């Protein structure tokens, strides 16, 4: 099917990737387009006003021609925005089977820092190395350069034209919206990442723009836009030389679906240098096709893509490694310290999740609360734990949870009351998302804290019963 034949309503403006009347995504499995809508789409093909749909069709046609020149057959896909929606997505032009190949893209039709440095910025390699630009910085600067400076040679002009003017992710949060995230993992990352971006652009300005090596029209807001696009549209791939960051145009228009299983459907084949993706599930002609961005918690979805998923089973709350301290006066300090240090070396594995925690965090608690008997019995992590260990592990977890809860500017009760007021209804979408993010985290922490408190009560009852039996025996 010719992409020019497909007409869908397209709206300009911000790429929110969420519905306008909710703080949760429209991309979850429970909110996929109904078959009635699909039938309307196929039979009627909704009329379009505005130039962006024309731009989408032009880009798709050009991109498919590029794939054809590489000997790749035209995908059974098109990009469109249904009437009444605000976000672009990818739809099937024919029935698609589960696990069917959807898209194959050669390396030369991907955007990577290496390709940028070998082409557009080839004469600036030494300067880029000197000012220590990361892969993300280079791709962000490249996108900003193409958008603002409009060079004579711009292979991605049609793609740049269809990208959103702004994003709903962290790069466009206001200072008040970021402040509302205080205490969350996202809040701390947002501040540090934005500060780092400002410093990076200052180096770019001093060493490149002011020395006429890049166009003088380039400003920080362009670089910020590039950062927002990289955050929301890039993928981490593994090649023959190791991991690398890339944007795969066209693929970047797939919307996310949180999978009911751990199924994965895209990646990079280093042996033939192709990016590929498959259908996660079967789809009918005209139906939107989703991909899995990753097993991602809500704070990461909001930070990078600008949306939340209700009851996200991948939600986690990190625990800072420094909270895993051992009291120097602990008589078992010399035994515990190296074990804890080894766990601290993998901070990404230290987290709470709804109703539970990571294996590494639980193991840390066992070690910190370990008694001499626990260590004498063998491997404290794998072995049988003493009742004292279980009790003081629960005690340690509650102390960590109290500390985590104290980092938020408001209490859980405050936020739950706020969400029932007209003030909350009048908030911006991003402010609502910030409140929901911290409420979700606090609720999970409170639930786990309550569970450990109940565990301690049961342990006390068991100990009292044992003491009673012992007295009766005596």
Query: Predicted confidence band at 472 (pLDDT cuts at 50, 70, 90)?
Result: confident
290-319 residue pLDDT tens? 888 888 899 999 999 999 998 888 899 999
**Of residues 421 and 389, more confidently modeled:** 421
What local confidence, expressed as pLDDT, does residue 262 receive? 57
Query: Checking DSSP bridges between strand 288-291 and strand 255-256, what pairing results, if any?
Result: parallel
Taking residue 381's Cβ as centre, other Cβ atoms within 10 Å add up to 17
Mean pLDDT (the chain, rounded): 85
Query: Predicted confidence band at 378 (pLDDT cuts at 50, 70, 90)?
Result: low
Taking residue 465's Cβ as centre, other Cβ atoms within 10 Å add up to 10
What local confidence, expressed as pLDDT, does residue 99 receive? 87
Buried b (16+ CB within 10 A) or exposed e, 161-180: ebbbeebbbbbbbeeebbeb
For tokens 């990646």, the residue is 267
Cβ pair 393, 420 in contact under 8 A: no
For tokens 């893509």, the residue is 305
Task: Give the residue among 250, 228, 258 at the shortest CA–CA distance from 30.
Answer: 258
Cβ pair 290, 27 in contact under 8 A: yes
Query: Predicted confidence band at 376 (pLDDT cuts at 50, 70, 90)?
Result: confident
Q: For residue 109, what are the CA distances in angstroms to 25, 240, 250? A: 30, 18, 10
416-433 residue pLDDT tens? 999 999 999 999 999 999
Of the ranges 58-72, 264-278, 356-370, which one carries the lowest mean pLDDT score? 264-278
- Phi, psi angle pair for 234, to nearest 5°: -95, 160
Cβ pair 149, 217 in contact under 8 A: yes
The pTM (predicted TM-score) of the whole model is: 0.83
34-74 residue pLDDT tens? 443 343 343 333 334 457 778 888 999 999 999 999 999 99
Model confidence at 269: pLDDT above 90: no
> What number is the average pLDDT over the span 181-187?
91
What local confidence, expressed as pLDDT, does residue 471 receive? 72
Cβ pair 167, 228 in contact under 8 A: yes
**Of residues 430 and 21, more confidently modeled:** 430
Which residues, 6+ apart, have CB-to-CB distance to 384 below 8 Å? 377
89-141 residue pLDDT tens? 999 999 999 889 999 999 999 999 999 999 999 999 999 999 999 999 999 99
Query: Predicted confidence band at 144 (pLDDT cuts at 50, 70, 90)?
Result: very high
Q: Reduced to 3 states, what is the DSSP secondary structure of residue 61?
A: helix
As a whole number of angstroms, the distance between CA 42 and CA 286 comes to 6
223-253 residue pLDDT tens? 999 999 999 999 999 988 889 999 999 999 9
């Amino acid at each position: 099917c010719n992409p020019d034949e497909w007409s869908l309503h397209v709206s300009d403006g911000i790429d929110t990737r969420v519905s306008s009347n909710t703080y949760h995504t429209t991309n979850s499995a429970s909110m996929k387009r109904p078959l009635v809508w699909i039938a309307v789409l196929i039979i009627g093909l909704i009329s379009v006003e505005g130039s962006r749909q024309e731009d989408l069709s032009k880009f798709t046609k050009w991109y498919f021609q590029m794939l054809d020149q590489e000997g790749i057959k035209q995908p059974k896909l098109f990009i469109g925005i249904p009437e009444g929606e605000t976000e672009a997505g990818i739809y099937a032009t024919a029935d698609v089977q589960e696990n069917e190949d959807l898209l194959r893209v050669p390396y030369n039709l991907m955007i990577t820092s290496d390709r940028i440095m070998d082409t557009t910025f080839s004469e600036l390699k030494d300067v880029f190395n000197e000012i220590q630009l990361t892969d993300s910085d280079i791709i962000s600067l490249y996108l900003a350069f193409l958008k603002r400076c409009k060079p004579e040679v711009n292979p991605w002009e049609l793609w740049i034209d269809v990208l959103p003017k702004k994003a709903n992710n962290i790069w466009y949060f206001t200072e008040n919206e970021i402040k509302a995230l205080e205490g969350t993992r996202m809040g701390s990352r947002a501040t540090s990442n934005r500060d780092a971006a400002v410093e990076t652009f200052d180096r770019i300005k001093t060493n490149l723009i002011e020395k006429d090596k890049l166009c003088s029209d380039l400003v920080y807001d362009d670089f910020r836009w590039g950062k927002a696009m990289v955050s929301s549209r890039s993928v981490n791939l593994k090649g023959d030389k190791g991991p690398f960051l890339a944007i795969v145009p066209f693929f970047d228009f797939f919307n996310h679906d949180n999978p009911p299983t751990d199924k994965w459907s895209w990646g990079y084949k280093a042996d033939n240098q192709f990016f590929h993706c498959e259908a996660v599930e079967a789809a009918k002609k005209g139906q939107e096709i989703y991909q899995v961005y990753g097993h991602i918690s809500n704070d990461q979805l909001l930070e990078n893509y600008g949306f939340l998923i209700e009851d996200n089973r991948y939600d986690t709350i990190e625990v800072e490694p420094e909270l895993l301290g051992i009291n120097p006066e602990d008589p078992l300090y010399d035994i515990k310290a190296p074990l804890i240090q080894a766990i601290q070396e993998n901070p990404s594995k230290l987290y709470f999740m709804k109703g539970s925690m990571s294996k590494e965090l639980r193991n840390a608690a066992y070690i910190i609360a370990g008694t001499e008997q626990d260590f004498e019995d063998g491997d404290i992590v794998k072995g049988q734990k003493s009742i004292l260990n279980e009790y003081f592990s629960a005690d340690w977890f509650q102390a960590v949870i109290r500390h985590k809860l104290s980092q938020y500017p408001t209490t859980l009760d405050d936020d739950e009351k706020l969400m029932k007021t007209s003030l909350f209804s009048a908030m911006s979408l991003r402010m609502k998302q910030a409140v929901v993010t911290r409420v979700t985290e606090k609720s999970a922490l409170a639930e786990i804290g309550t569970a450990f408190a109940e565990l301690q009560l049961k342990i006390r009852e068991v100990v009292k019963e044992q003491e009673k039996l012992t007295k009766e025996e005596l």
